[in-house]
Amino acid sequence: KAGVTQTPRYLIKTRGQQVTLSCSPISGHRSVSWYQQTPGQGLQFLFEYFSETQRNKGNFPGRFSGRQFSNSRSEMNVSTLELGDSALYLCASSSLDRGLYEQYFGPGTRLTVT
Amino acid sequence: GEDVEQSLFLSVREGDSSVINCTYTDSSSTYLYWYKQEPGAGLQLLTYIFSNMDMKQDQRLTVLLNKKDKHLSLRIADTQTGDSAIYFCAESIYGNNRLAFGKGNQVVVIP
């Protein structure tokens, strides 16, 4: 099976702009989660989508949003970018088996805000 | 809520064993995971253990769980240069897909 893919891999934006990142999960996986990784804060959970519904949400401002399509592909959007949004954004897909989520991560999108 | 702590840096000689430690705070039924991140890459799931287990072995990897102290360790036997990476432990509550990560341990393998 193909792994989790994320596009684009690298992105440079300026403050105030908005950005959309895309994630295609492993075939058959219906859950997609997003994480932000920064040197200072480490890995932080953004949100999770399952069957086109947001099921979990982390502690991020409303500028961070996401959605999931019927084919399980997911996008996340960040509006009004700030310098502090510079980070590696990781997407993970998973299927549920007996309460266990084996989450498989994509390579990430490196966002730089200038 | 979940809170996961890890120490930061470990240097080990090729062929030796390396041990990475982690503590977690949530007392609910949890899954505990170990992920590996190489430079410029995403996270690779190495192994996981459920909180009702004490040990899990998977080839060169051994996970030990001390439930009383909420202490998790990952032992890598016969460490190779390809094991140089950052290792993250993570915790999720049973049935919840949200992972809480530690800060990561950087492991450097010296040839």
pLDDT tens, residue by residue, A15-65: 999 999 999 999 989 999 999 999 889 999 999 999 999 999 999 999 999
Which among B50, B90, B97 has the least Cβ separation from residue A31? Answer: B97
Closest CA in chain A for residue B29: A99
Q: Locate tokens 């990781």: which residue?
A: A90
> Has residue A100 got a pLDDT over 80?
no
Cβ–Cβ below 8 Å for B98 and A107 = no
pLDDT tens, residue by residue, B53-104: 889 999 999 999 998 888 999 999 999 999 999 999 999 876 778 899 999 9
Which among A4, A43, A48 has the least Cβ separation from residue B97? Answer: A48
Give the alpha-carbon dihedral of B82, B86, B92, B95, to 10 degrees.
Answer: -40
Cβ–Cβ below 8 Å for B101 and A50 = no
Among A45, A50, A98, most B C-beta atoms within 10 A, so best to mutate, is A45
d(CA A108, CA A90): 4
d(CA B14, CA A107): 27
Q: How distant is the Cα of B26 from the closest Cα of chain A, in angstroms?
A: 17
| Greatest mean pLDDT range, A1-10, A81-90, A101-110, B62-71 | A81-90
Q: What is the pLDDT of residue B51?
A: 83
Nearest to A92 by CA among B8, B82, B106, B37: B37
Cβ–Cβ below 8 Å for A33 and B97 = yes
d(CA B43, CA B11): 21
Alpha carbon distances (Å) from B50 to A14, A59, B82: 43, 26, 27
Cβ–Cβ below 8 Å for A105 and B102 = no
Residues of A with CB below 8 A from B90's CB?
43
Among A29, A41, A100, A102, most B C-beta atoms within 10 A, so best to mutate, is A100
b/e for A62-87, b at 16 or more Cβ within 10 A?
A: eebbbebeeebbbbbebeebeeebbb
Q: Residue A29, by phi and psi: left (phi above 0), alpha (psi -120 to 50) or beta?
A: beta
Q: What is the pLDDT of residue B45?
A: 93
Question: Would you tell me which residues 51-80 of chain A have a C-beta closer than 8 angstroms to some C-beta of chain B?
Answer: 55-56, 58
- Sequence-ordered list of residues with C-beta below 8 angstroms from that of B12, at least 6 positions apart, any chain: B18, B79, B107, B108, B109, B110
CB B9 within 8 A of CB B84: no
